[in-house]
């Protein structure tokens, strides 16, 4: 396949949290609000003169200092972010919108404040609570928190217009971004897709890490390009997989999988497009912040929600996506020391195999997988097993037809 016109530009944008588009927007007087979690409604950070930037720590090396502060047995993602903060990687931020979802990330936010990783006078770190289940009273609570602990803070610290009108405008732009990313992602359903899982991962990540207004025109152009892009006549992959699990912003993980012959067709993980790129449908009757809060709570696939119906939702979503995107198997991944996914993964990966019938590879991994030989072997063996199963299945089907 011919290279995508903007792929290298997109990859470069992901090399640094303070990328060129972020700097460009800030030079025009906009404020950058960092966040780390789907529980924080991205769209509320894109109101008026603010833009959201999902925090990453690309090219993480040693995490010795953050390990000193946070101990060995805490999520590597949270430690990597703190380490980058200590290195000065988040000095560009004007605020951090945190959620009280997991204790490791809370420690990270606290240390970013306590260690004064950002010297801007107006810089703020704010926290909002996250409930354990989705009920009407929880939706009210989250909406109230979003007003008090986020929108009011943004208004007080940065003078942001947080009126319903401004929020509605942000939702419109957000929905447009979602439509474009979803349309690009839908090409992965095709038998021989004109896009690879790696390319989609890059596209999905830039949509989170860059100001929406700046990245949207480039994504629209990419969508048009993909519409007419011709894939190689014979598919390059040997099996199709869906990834489900915890935070993934490491392009090397997708690259490693695809080098082993597995096309990633669906990405149900934090920083992926499921959930994250669903349009927000608003009505004119109900409080707008409450509607947004409900949207994020209903679509969330985070194991922080421990209610039975949410646990079932997560399994059903994995099953649905794998079917819808024509996957041959599921990779169930978990960041090492992630509290919530560490409970979910061992059981859920068995259930997906035994009750839903999906071949499943269950892995725990570092924040950056680099070029892990052992992961490569596991991925390749899984692909080989999927490939053989598919060949056998096809042969059986042909026998039945014959």
Partner 1 sequence: MKYFGGCDVGSTYTKAVIVDETGKMVAGTTVKSKIIAQESAEIAMKEVIDQVEGLNSSKDLEYLIGTGYGRNKVPFADENISEISCHAMGVHVTNPSVKAIIDIGGQDVKGISIDTDGTVKNFAMNDKCAAGTGRFFEAMARSFEMSLEQFSNLSLSAKNVIPITAQCTVFAESEVITLVGEGKPMDEIAAGIEMAVAKRCFVMSKKAGATDSITLTGGCAKNAGLKAAIEQVLKLKVVDLSIDPQLMGALGAAEYARQKGLAK
Residue 255 near partner 1 by CB under 8 A: no
Choose the binding region for partner 1 from 33-41, 90-98, 242-250, 381-389 (rule: CB under 8 A): 381-389
The answer to whether 83 touches 111, Cβ cutoff 8 Å, is no
Residue from 388, 394, 396, 397 binding partner 1 (CB under 8 A)? 388
Q: Three-state DSSP class for 243? A: strand
Residue 62 near partner 1 by CB under 8 A: no
Residue 347 near partner 1 by CB under 8 A: no
Choose the binding region for partner 1 from 5-13, 83-91, 145-153, 378-386 (rule: CB under 8 A): 378-386
Residue 67 near partner 1 by CB under 8 A: no
Burial class for 224, CB neighbours closer than 10 Å (0-12, 13-18, 19+): exposed
Q: Three-state DSSP class for 269? A: strand
Q: Three-state DSSP class for 303? A: coil
| Of 222 and 349, CB closest to partner 1 | 349
Burial class for 395, CB neighbours closer than 10 Å (0-12, 13-18, 19+): exposed
Per-residue CA distances from 130 to 90, 282, 293, 318 (Å):
24, 22, 11, 23
The answer to whether 65 touches 110, Cβ cutoff 8 Å, is no
Q: Tell the smallest beta-carbon distance from residue 384 to partner 1 (Å).
A: 5
The answer to whether 352 touches 315, Cβ cutoff 8 Å, is yes
Q: Tell the smallest beta-carbon distance from residue 87 to partner 1 (Å).
A: 25
Residue 357 near partner 1 by CB under 8 A: no
Residue from 227, 381, 396, 397 binding partner 1 (CB under 8 A)? 381
Choose the binding region for partner 1 from 29-37, 113-121, 160-168, 367-375 (rule: CB under 8 A): 367-375
Residue from 309, 385, 396, 398 binding partner 1 (CB under 8 A)? 385
Q: Tell the smallest beta-carbon distance from residue 259 to partner 1 (Å).
A: 10
Q: Three-state DSSP class for 308? A: helix
Closest CA relative to residue 149, chosen from 95, 93, 97, 104 = 97
Residue 395 near partner 1 by CB under 8 A: no
**What are 83's two structure tokens?**
């380490």
Per-residue CA distances from 178 to 36, 40, 227, 297, 322 (Å):
18, 17, 17, 17, 20
Residue from 29, 121, 233, 373 binding partner 1 (CB under 8 A)? 373
| Of 50 and 241, CB closest to partner 1 | 241
Choose the binding region for partner 1 from 121-129, 168-176, 210-218, 369-377 (rule: CB under 8 A): 369-377
Residue from 234, 374, 399, 401 binding partner 1 (CB under 8 A)? 374
Residue from 377, 394, 395, 397 binding partner 1 (CB under 8 A)? 377
The answer to whether 210 touches 53, Cβ cutoff 8 Å, is yes
Residue from 282, 351, 384, 390 binding partner 1 (CB under 8 A)? 384
Q: Tell the smallest beta-carbon distance from residue 336 to partner 1 (Å).
A: 9
Specify the pairing of strand 124-129 against strand 95-100. Answer: parallel
Q: Tell the smallest beta-carbon distance from residue 340 to partner 1 (Å).
A: 20
Per-residue CA distances from 364 to 19, 86, 227, 244, 378 (Å):
29, 26, 36, 12, 12
| Of 228 and 374, CB closest to partner 1 | 374
Helix (H) or strand (E) holding 346: helix 339-354
Q: Tell the smallest beta-carbon distance from residue 275 to partner 1 (Å).
A: 29
Q: How far apart are CA 300 and CA 305, in angstroms?
A: 8
Residue 252 near partner 1 by CB under 8 A: no
Q: How far apart are CA 347 and CA 312, in angstroms?
A: 12
Residues that bind partner 1 (CB under 8 A): 364, 372-374, 377-378, 380-381, 384-385, 388
């Amino acid at each position: 396949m011919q290279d995508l016109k903007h792929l290298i530009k997109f990859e470069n944008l992901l090399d640094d949290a303070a990328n060129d588009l972020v700097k460009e927007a800030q030079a025009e007087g906009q404020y950058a609000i960092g966040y780390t979690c789907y529980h924080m409604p991205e769209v509320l950070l894109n109101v008026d003169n603010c833009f959201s930037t999902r925090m990453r720590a690309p090219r993480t090396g040693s995490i010795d200092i953050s390990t000193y502060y946070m101990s060995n047995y805490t999520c590597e993602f949270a430690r990597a972010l703190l380490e980058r903060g200590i290195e000065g990687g988040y000095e560009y931020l004007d605020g951090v919108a945190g959620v009280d979802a997991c204790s490791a990330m809370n420690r990270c936010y606290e240390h970013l404040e306590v260690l004064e990783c950002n010297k801007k006078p107006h810089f703020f770190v704010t926290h909002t609570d996250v409930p354990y289940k989705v009920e009407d009273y929880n939706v009210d609570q989250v909406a109230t928190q979003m007003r008090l602990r986020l929108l009011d803070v943004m208004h007080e610290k940065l003078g942001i217009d947080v009126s319903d009108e401004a929020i509605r405008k942000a939702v419109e732009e957000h929905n447009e971004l979602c439509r474009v990313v979803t349309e690009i992602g839908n090409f992965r359903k095709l038998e021989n897709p004109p896009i690879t899982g790696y390319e989609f991962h890059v596209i999905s990540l830039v949509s989170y890490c860059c100001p929406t207004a700046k990245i949207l025109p480039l994504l629209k152009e990419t969508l048009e390009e993909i519409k007419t892009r011709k894939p190689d006549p014979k598919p390059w992959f040997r099996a199709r997989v869906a990834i489900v699990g915890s935070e993934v912003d490491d392009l090397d993980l997708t690259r490693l999988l695809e080098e082993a012959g597995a096309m990633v067709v669906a990405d149900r993980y934090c920083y992926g497009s499921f959930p994250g790129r669903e349009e927000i449908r608003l009505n004119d009757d109900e409080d707008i912040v409450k509607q947004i809060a409900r949207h994020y709570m209903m679509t969330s696939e985070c194991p922080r929600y421990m209610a039975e119906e949410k646990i079932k939702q997560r399994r059903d979503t994995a099953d649905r996506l794998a079917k819808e995107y024509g996957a041959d198997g599921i990779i169930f991944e978990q960041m090492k020391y992630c509290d919530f996914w560490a409970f979910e993964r061992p059981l859920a990966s068995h259930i997906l195999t035994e009750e839903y019938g999906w071949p499943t590879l269950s892995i725990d991994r570092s924040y950056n997988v680099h070029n892990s030989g052992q992961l490569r072997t596991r991925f390749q063996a899984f692909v080989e097993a999927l490939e053989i199963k598919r060949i056998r299945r096809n042969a059986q089907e042909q026998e039945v037809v014959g």
